[in-house]
Structure 1
């Protein structure tokens, strides 16, 4: 039995991921933006509440999760696509939670095939002007940069596919169930290969944007995130 945290678990892929983990017998701590979005409160090991579009509340979410001790896995699922807060929610929030929380055994970050159209101009990150594709390039790069940073902690990025959620739209062509299965598998399975640093789609690794594998770009990204947030990555 694993202790797993899932951000953005009120609906969509996060909701499905949390339920699949719970159905398999794992202890799940869910994050939701506010109490009105919480369903089945008795189902979960715990609930943390905070708006990841607001930096002060991201810090509060990190404080809330400290009450649960050491997590086996943290799935950074929360995201937005067409919001002024796309950089805060999709990049700053997972970075800050990673930097502020105790290091889990496994880190999993939601990416997108759209990351391949993202920009490597990190001035966009500093200025908060990046697009959805930019945000997914940067979070994928962070996930792969972390893969060998901390002994005892693995890190992966997952492209869940274009699935029919509120974000993806009713006409999205990919299978909704397949959209969360890889995250659940990476969070709980012991036979993952590679054990860290994979960019996954439906349990198969793919080649990400070349910048994600570039050591200089990784270092520049982390430096930019540290400067933007004022929080170092130990």
Structure 2
């Protein structure tokens, strides 16, 4: 059975993925933003391989999360599930701007660099990534007028490009991006039209299966079907420019 780390596993898609994998007999390492949020895992933690705690909006705490994961052993797979669309009461502030970039893009980048390299990496993107074309020099929105929807779309373009860049640079690792659909989670809202059950199946399948289709790295997936991502996501020039920008922002080089 595989040892799998899932970020943002206290609720929504991350929790659903954790429940499914634990039910299949896999060893799952859970993640909560804080000790208070970890209390939501009381029903899952006795059957889990561990629980790590840290706010992925903080570079310091993201480093701590990576250290906690590494202390539990080399993962077979990591599912980068954690993400935010807006920050309650702070979305229009500089801190709110920074949180979306930090959680959705910088944290997956940092964890990819810091967590001992697994056999499989799965990054949650979004169909909204196709509307995320923007200037990489202003990835942190210091020059433009803030647009939360555009910022979210950009962050999901960046994480898709990260997944495909990893596939290109680390051929020994199976790396994929997943669009889980617009599902009725706290972030997606109750009226979201997609299927919550389908929303987590692709990432759990990619983390554990030996299906020939899933064993070809560099895929962008929606409901277990490989699709074409935005042109930028699969463009090596864009990927490398993004990696350079993320290295400058985090102080760590991935490739």
Using the size of structure 1 for normalisation, the TM-score is 0.97
Among 55, 59, 76, which residue is 1:72 paired with? Answer: 76
Distance 2:18 2:218 in 1: 23
Unmatched segments (≥5 aa) in structure 2: 88-95
* Contact 2:101 2:140 (8 Å CA) reproduced: no
Question: Which residue of structure 2 aligns with residue 187 of structure 1?
Answer: 207
Matched, 1:205 2:247: no
Q: How many residue pairs get matched?
A: 234
Unmatched segments (≥5 aa) in structure 1: none
Query: Which portions of structure 1, spanning 4 or more consecutive aligned residues, are displaced by more than 2 angstroms?
Result: 126-130
Q: How many Å apart are 1:125 and its aligned residue?
A: 1.7
Using the size of structure 2 for normalisation, the TM-score is 0.89
* Contact 1:18 1:30 (8 Å CA) reproduced: yes
- Higher mean displacement: 31-40 or 177-186: 31-40
Question: Which residue of structure 2 aligns with residue 134 of structure 1?
Answer: 154
Question: Which residue of structure 1 aligns with residue 86 of structure 2?
Answer: 82
Distance 2:134 2:227 in 1: 20
Distance 1:211 1:192 in 2: 26
Question: Which residue of structure 2 aligns with residue 166 of structure 1?
Answer: 186
Q: How many Å apart are 1:80 and its aligned residue?
A: 0.2
Aligned counterparts, 1:31-180, within 5 A: 31-38=31-38, 39=41, 40=43, 41-83=45-87, 84=96, 85-127=99-141, 131-180=151-200
CA-atom RMSD in angstroms: 1.3
* Contact 1:17 1:181 (8 Å CA) reproduced: yes
Question: Which residue of structure 1 aligns with residue 92 of structure 2?
Answer: none
Distance 1:181 1:217 in 2: 29
Matched, 1:227 2:231: no
Distance 1:98 1:188 in 2: 19
- Higher mean displacement: 124-133 or 163-172: 124-133
Please give the per-residue CA displacement for 1:79-106, whole angstroms capped at 9, x wherever unaligned: 0001311000000000000011111000
Question: Which residue of structure 2 aligns with residue 12 of structure 1?
Answer: 12
